Amino acid sequence: MCSAFGTLVSLNTNPEWFGVKAFRSMRQPNAITTHRQVLGEMLDGLESASQCPPEHKYKKPAPPIIDNSNLASYQSLMCTGSYMVLSDLLAVSNILSRNEHVRVSLLEVMIGRCMVSPVFSEEICGLEFVFDHNRLTDDQWSIACFLASFAFVPQIFGDDLVCYPELKRKEFTWIREDTVIYIATHLDDKRCLQASVSRLVNAITEQKDNPGDSFGIAFSVYHCAVVKVVKDSHTMSFSHTNALQFLPSIYTDSPSTPGITTLARLGYRNDPALFEHAMELCGYNRPMSMRIQPEESLRRGTNGGDDVPPNTICSPLPLELWKEIALHLHPFNLIAFSLVSTLCREAASMVLRYPHLCGYRLVAVPKKKPEYLQDQHLSLHTTSFSAARTGVPATVLVGCQFEYGQSRYLDFPLSITDLKPCSLPFSVILYVDGKLKSCWV
């Protein structure tokens, strides 16, 4: 029997999910339970699950009891919506832009690779049986926080010089100035969801004194929810989404989930600090006097000059032209380019919103996947992108190896105790003189 993310290898052995046991010992039935009953229970009550004796059913722990005091903020503050969709929270269109589609597809394939990786899948299976967030192991917390924060970091991957900071366990992890993550459990339970929302609202109000919008993410790997807190000089209100499915089912025929799409779109929002974060990742440890600063210094170049040189009658070049130049630069060169002037920084920040793999900028998701990626199982953890590097078009295959050329592996920026790092294979296909070629520049 086959699933979308794996194969049940034999009716005489325990079901396995790409080589990793899908049933942990805490919920495995004894040998007298028939495989038909096991599979029925695995499929959420279909077929013969109702006939399975109680002692052989999988024992998923009940949600923790939530004291009313944990819901105080939720019940006392003004909630303007409890089942909002992200497009309403952000006041954007329901239709994904081309760049958002790229970010969503990249997150989908990364999640798919995690699900077929023994490094991740065993820990992910165990997350379902954690009673509450205080009982998460450090490895489980690291995996959850990594998956939740992936869409919010500067999307520069595959370069040896890029160094992502190690995640440090905290109750609340601020991944942006206005966005915080809280690792939770049982978000599909109404009171657990409300308690998580309440904790996020409290964390945001304690951290942020200035008026404005802030976002919180309650994340349990299996589900996620987004909270928006709006503060002005006199009032504060909040709204949130429902618990959205994040992790695809192992029996799905599509890598898409509402939670993946939601976090990818939320991560694509304009980040005023993107340039600073990219500088840190790329090792630009320059003195603060060398960086473009807010307020007055933002209007001046690094050499003390304005965007328009003195004693000139020429108007400054338009932003569109600077962006066109930036589109031909490697991410590391973009950082240096950003230090020239305010307009260059703005143009470079626009380009840095695209994901980059080894200097290849992912610009679009093809309407039709290549024939060799259309296999149903393969398509759940592989995809292709139209890309460019220094103006040269290319096709980037992510999640698979290209049989006619070289492939590289992208190590996820995550450390897990006593476990090997998980890698994401990808290839770059170049068309040179009309001929198919795979190479690295």
Q: What secondary structure letter does DSSP report for 137?
A: -
Residue type for position 316: P
pLDDT at 267: 94
The answer to whether 241 and 84 are in contact (CB under 8 A) is yes
The answer to whether 287 and 298 are in contact (CB under 8 A) is no
Q: How many CA atoms lie within 13 A of 102 on its CB side?
A: 18
DSSP 367-387: SS--GGG-STTGGGS-EEEEE
pLDDT at 422: 58
Pair of tokens at residue 328: 């031909």
d(CA 127, CA 152): 23
pLDDT at 265: 95
d(CA 375, CA 107): 19
Rg (CA), the chain: 24
Q: How many CB atoms lie within 10 A of CB 76?
A: 10
Question: String of b and e for 322-349 (b: at least 16 CB within 10 Å)?
Answer: bbeebbebbbbebbebbbbbbbbbbbbb
d(CA 196, CA 309): 53
Residue type for position 399: G
Tell which residue, 57, 22, 51, 199, has the closest CA to residue 128.
22
The answer to whether 213 and 272 are in contact (CB under 8 A) is no
pLDDT < 50 regions, the chain: 1-48, 286-305, 433, 440-441
pTM score of the predicted model: 0.78
For 204, residues 6+ apart whose C-beta sits below 8 A from its C-beta are 180, 214, 216, 227, 229
d(CA 315, CA 110): 45
With residue 263 as reference, give the H or E element that holds it: helix 258-268
d(CA 365, CA 430): 16
HEC-encoded secondary structure of 206-228: HHCCCCEEEEEEEECCCEEEEEE
The answer to whether 160 and 411 are in contact (CB under 8 A) is no
Strand partners for 350: none
Q: What secondary structure letter does DSSP report for 333?
A: H
Torsion angle (degrees, nearest 10) of CA 183, 186, 190, 195 = -40
Pair of tokens at residue 154: 């500067």
d(CA 207, CA 229): 12
In Å, what is the CA distance from 99 to each residue of 91, 266, 269, 334? 17, 13, 11, 19
pLDDT at 263: 96
d(CA 307, CA 344): 9
Strand partners for 156: 356
d(CA 427, CA 384): 9
Q: What percent of the chain has pLDDT over 70?
A: 67
pLDDT at 115: 82
For 437, residues 6+ apart whose C-beta sits below 8 A from its C-beta are 405, 429, 430, 431
